Amino acid sequence: MTKQVTRENLAQLLEWESLETLSFDQLVTLFEREEGLANFIPDGTFQVDPRNNDRVVFNSSRARRPHDNRPVEQSLKHEDPKRECVICAGKTTGIIDVTELSEGFTFINKNLFPVVYPSMFPDEYPSDDGMADSSLTGRPAHGFHFLQWTSSYHDIDWHNIPIEDGMVVMRRLAALEEVLLNGYLDFHTQGSTAIMDHTGYVSIIKNYGHLVGGSLVHGHQQIVFSNVMPARFYNNLRFRQTHGKPFSEYLLEVTPPELQIKDYGVAKLVVPYFMRRPFDMFLLVDDTAKGYLHDLDDDEIEAVTVSWQDAISVILKVMPMIGKETAYNITTHNGPGAGLYFEFLPYTQEIGGLEHLGLVICQGNPYDAAQQIRNILES
């Protein structure tokens, strides 16, 4: 029998049917009422590494997650396919959005182990201006951490979801992004605008495989909204200020045909000329004036959906071919300075000491990788 979240399980967890009708202050209340979160509230501070703008959010409670800091003999065990899925069993947090798919449904809930927490969003706090805190005591870090489950069916994820269903999932991601950004502006109009035209940032990622932080095998995406600006966002903004164009526009201009994998009409899947690890891929939305998922029209949503399916399918095929356990990350680059682009980052190579010095050694060639990816997609 296929594992899945049932409607009966959903009814016990559903707190809100559609996030568009959920106000920002109601969302804060729902997080504060989630009893399980009280055991995993973060430290609530962050610092900036002045060398490269990396934000370091302090979160001691995440070390108490069931899958972290286990004895070696336990941590090396692979996921047992017969093991109960806590999501399918309905052992999770309150759900704030649910949408029907052709089979089953997609839904969004609160992360039980959040990297940030609402903390009532104080009226005033130091803005994340990219500079280190001279007091060295840390700056307040607050926000929301969500999970979007691709499908209620355990074995359905991006590589095998019907395209129309995938578009629904992508639209729900876009809707959450818009609700968080606009809701925060409505809720908080006095925040600092030292760097950006708002003081909230939406980070959308996907982790697959325990080697890259994927702790659950039921397909999902993570969404973090906070006052902490990820270093990539900061660097994208600085790139635009320095070069007069978004980074995605630059990459569209300089990428030669040999590094283009597929043209979707309104977006392009490419291998970056600076490929850091074999088979890294970028999806670049052609209209670089659009900076967010919720800016995209139907054709662009379809292109993003199909490209996610293409890129993930390639990763699932190529990693066993090179003798690697399947693991990858997807990162979404939105907001001023980025245009809109996505990185697909398979864990094809470990990180060594030279990488920590900023000298990246790539065990592959971007032109060879692009050709291999095209061959896989065409086969």
Residue ranges covered by each domain of the chain: 1-229, 244-379
Tokens matching residue 179: 């609700």
Q: Is the pTM of this model over 0.75?
A: yes
* Strand ordering across the sheet containing 341-346: 95-100, 105-110, 143-149, 220-226, 201-208, 328-333, 341-346, 281-285, 267-270, 260-263
Q: What is the pLDDT of residue 255?
A: 98
Mean pLDDT score, 184-195: 52
Average pLDDT over residues 246-254: 97
Residues 6 or more apart whose Cβ sits within 8 Å of residue 189: none
Cα–Cα dist 83/22, whole Å? 35
pLDDT band at 77 (very low <50, low <70, confident <90, very high): very low
- Asked if 213 contacts 349 with a C-beta cutoff of 8 angstroms, the reply is no
- 294-332 pLDDT, tens digit each: 999 999 999 999 999 999 999 999 999 999 999 999 999
CATH fold of the domain at 244-379: HIT family, subunit A (3.30.428)
Residue 19's pLDDT band (boundaries 50, 70, 90)?
very high
Segment 2-17 mean pLDDT:
90
pLDDT of residue 234 exceeding 60: yes
Q: What are phi and psi of 140, to 5 degrees?
A: -65, 135
Tokens of 65: 């997650």
pLDDT, one tens digit per residue, over 125-172 is: 445 655 555 567 778 888 999 999 999 999 999 999 999 999 999 999
Q: Is 304 exposed, middle or buried (0-12, 13-18, 19+ CB in 10 A)?
A: buried
CATH architecture entry for 1-229:
2-Layer Sandwich (3.30)
Angle, CA of 233, 238 and 240, to the nearest 5°: 100
Element (H, E) at 344: strand 341-346
Q: Which of 276, 275, 295 is nearest to 285 (CA)?
A: 295
Instruction: Extract the tokens encoding 205.
Output: 């990622």
What does the alpha-carbon distance between residue 146 and residue 168 come to, in Å, rounded to a whole number? 17
